Amino acid sequence: MFSLEKSKQAFAEARTYMPGGVNSPVRSYRSVGGNPPFISSASGSRIYDIDGNEYIDYVLSWGPMILGHANPEIVASILEAIPRGTSYGAPTLLETEVAKKIQAFYPSMEMVRMVNSGTESTMSALRLARGYTGRDKIVKFIGCYHGHSDSLLVKAGSGLATFGVPDSPGVPTGVAEDTITLPYNDSDAVRQLFEAHGESIAAIIVEPVAGNMGCVPPVEGFLETLREVTTEHGAVLIFDEVMCGFRSSSGGAQKYYNVIPDLTCLGKIVGGGLPMAVFGGKKEMMSSIAPSGPVYQAGTLSGNPVAMAAGLATLSMLQKYPNAFRQVEESTEALCQGLEAAAKEVGVPVVVQRVGSMFTLFFTDKAVHNFDDASACDMEAFKTFFHYNLERGIYYAASQYESNFLSTCHSDQDLAYTLQIAKEAFQAIKG
Ligand code: PLP
């Protein structure tokens, strides 16, 4: 019998010490209601909570664990690193090794700077773009999330190209005003904006496969348009591949769609589950970063030896077993096809969108191309689906606006059970 009794007590206590009881909002289950399970351990495709429930995990720490939880080789690398000291604040051989590996997967990252989170990576890439171009304005797309730095916590008001208003109290209006937001996948809007304001725009930052309004691929020509207008107007094109990196393909979205940005941000998988992220790109541009150049960026724990060990182990394994990408992609494809077929059989309108090993099941009857499309989904159906699954040991992302992920550890049996429960959940929605 499914019970979250201990998690309920733990959540109540956590709420007295931490806002919402969590250290990152989506973990609180605000958008689906109910009590989040408190996790005690994870292994392979599974996570376990403090009530003794076991789940097939399609969240995978929001993406990083492509080789499954507690992968023995990654764990061994971490355990080997720790006795040598957990932080030195000084250069190490490991950092260069990791930089070389990153470049092997992402040749466009000729030089990199390691940081501790995706937020830091996008924030720093933007500072570089602004410093390099001497311009202030940046363009982002509605529904793309790039972490929580001030310039990026901005969404559109009404209108096609709206000068941004802060999405959160505490973001200065002046900062938000320099962020222009446009609808995702709208090439015409991008062209019009650059015709009018191209000379004042430092950068476009984009999730080349959006994952933060659910999984939304770029429509044909969209990324090419971004490349074209930025080149034409001397602006920097930044691909935020923190989520879609190593998920869209071995070389991320830029390899998959063959559009090469000036700067790339990576996080999640690149750190093997430890706090590590990176941004990088053209040597000439990266040379503007301190101490080579004037754009300041720094970090006490950046290039941390334990995080580097985890990252190096992950990247080395992915390099050694390049079939891993195909294997995870094939499992994801099979799961998505199964989900779509089950929904169709029961008669619940869903669209399952996937790129590589990330996917979202949208409760809608038409393709989702942007944030408005995602917002039009049946959120009540999503909630029913989510809780039905959770109570039967399937752990999906707790929001319609999120992507789900698979790992090399998700077995055929995992998928078969997932599809069985999905069908029942669709029947429950149908009523
Ligand atoms: N960029 C993208 C595309 C993300 O999905 C995220 C987080 O989910 C971030 C940036 C921020 O990364 P972090 O949570 O490590 O700060």
- CATH number for the domain that contains residue 360: 3.90.1150.10
Mutate to test the pocket of ligand 1, among 116, 119, 126 (most ligand atoms within 8 A of CB): 119
| Residues 348 and 292 both lie in one domain | no
For residue 269, pLDDT beyond 80: yes
Structural domain harbouring 397: 5-70+322-430
pLDDT of the residue at 35: 97
Atom number of ligand 1 nearest to Cα 268: 15
- Whether the CB-CB separation of 7 and 49 falls below 8 Å is answered with yes
Average pLDDT, integer, range 278-292:
98
Reduce the DSSP state of residue 148 to 3 states and report it. coil
The model's confidence at residue 164, banded by pLDDT at 50, 70 and 90, is low
| Residues 378 and 410 both lie in one domain | yes
For residue 409, pLDDT beyond 80: yes
Catalytic-residue membership of 136: no
Which pairs from 295-299 meet CB under 8 Å and 24+ separation? Answer: 295/127, 295/128, 295/131, 295/132, 296/127, 297/113, 297/115, 297/124, 297/127, 297/128, 299/114, 299/115, 299/116, 299/120
The CA–CA distances, whole Å, from 186 to 6, 189, 215, 319, 340 equal 47, 6, 17, 35, 27
| Residues 268 and 129 both lie in one domain | yes
Catalytic-residue membership of 373: no
CATH number of the domain residue 115 falls in: 3.40.640.10
How many angstroms separate the CA atoms of 242 and 176, rounded? 22
Residue 145 Cβ inside 6 Å of ligand 1? The answer reads yes
Residue 117 Cβ inside 6 Å of ligand 1? The answer reads yes
The model's confidence at residue 163, banded by pLDDT at 50, 70 and 90, is low
For residue 65, report the distance from its CA to the centre of ligand 1, in Å. 15
Q: What percent of the chain is predicted at pLDDT more than 70?
A: 97
The model's confidence at residue 367, banded by pLDDT at 50, 70 and 90, is very high
The answer for 246, left when phi > 0, alpha when psi is -120 to 50, beta otherwise, is: left
pLDDT of the residue at 414: 98
Q: How many domains is the chain partitioned into structurally?
A: 2
Residue nearest to atom 12 of ligand 1 (CA): 118
For residue 156, pLDDT beyond 60: no
Q: Which of 274, 303, 320 is the last residue of a domain?
A: 320
Average pLDDT, integer, range 5-17:
98
Q: Which of 320, 340, 375 is the last residue of a domain?
A: 320
In 343-391, at which residue ranges do the beta strands (DSSP E only) sit?
Answer: 351-355, 358-362
Average pLDDT, integer, range 221-249:
98
pLDDT of the residue at 170: 87
Tokens of 17: 């010490």
Determine how β-strand 263-266 pairs with β-strand 236-240: parallel
Model pLDDT for residues 204-213, shown as the tens digit of each residue = 999 999 999 9
The CA–CA distances, whole Å, from 339 to 235, 329, 343, 366, 368 equal 41, 15, 6, 16, 17
For residue 234, report the distance from its CA to the centre of ligand 1, in Å. 26
Catalytic-residue membership of 48: no
| Residues 376 and 291 both lie in one domain | no
Residue 243 Cβ inside 6 Å of ligand 1? The answer reads yes
How many angstroms separate the CA atoms of 47 and 22, rounded? 18
Model pLDDT for residues 14-47, shown as the tens digit of each residue = 999 999 999 998 999 988 999 999 999 999 999 9
| Residues 76 and 66 both lie in one domain | no
| Residues 270 and 211 both lie in one domain | yes
| Residues 99 and 150 both lie in one domain | yes
Residue nearest to atom 13 of ligand 1 (CA): 118
* CB neighbourhood size of 166 (10 A): 18
pLDDT of the residue at 151: 87
pLDDT of the residue at 349: 98
Per DSSP, helices labelled H in 163-209 are: 173-177, 187-197
| Residues 348 and 206 both lie in one domain | no
| Residues 423 and 351 both lie in one domain | yes
Q: What percent of the chain is predicted at pLDDT more than 90?
A: 92
Mutate to test the pocket of ligand 1, among 212, 238, 247 (most ligand atoms within 8 A of CB): 212
Tokens of 45: 């495709």
| Residues 190 and 287 both lie in one domain | yes
Average pLDDT, integer, range 375-380:
95
For residue 159, pLDDT beyond 50: no
Residue 147 Cβ inside 6 Å of ligand 1? The answer reads yes
What lies within 8 Å, CB to CB, of 334 at 6+ separation is: 415
| Residues 15 and 80 both lie in one domain | no
For residue 292, report the distance from its CA to the centre of ligand 1, in Å. 27
For residue 243, report the distance from its CA to the centre of ligand 1, in Å. 7
Rounded-to-5 percentages of helix, strand, coil across the chain: 45, 20, 40
| Residues 133 and 210 both lie in one domain | yes
Q: Which of 320, 340, 371 is the last residue of a domain?
A: 320
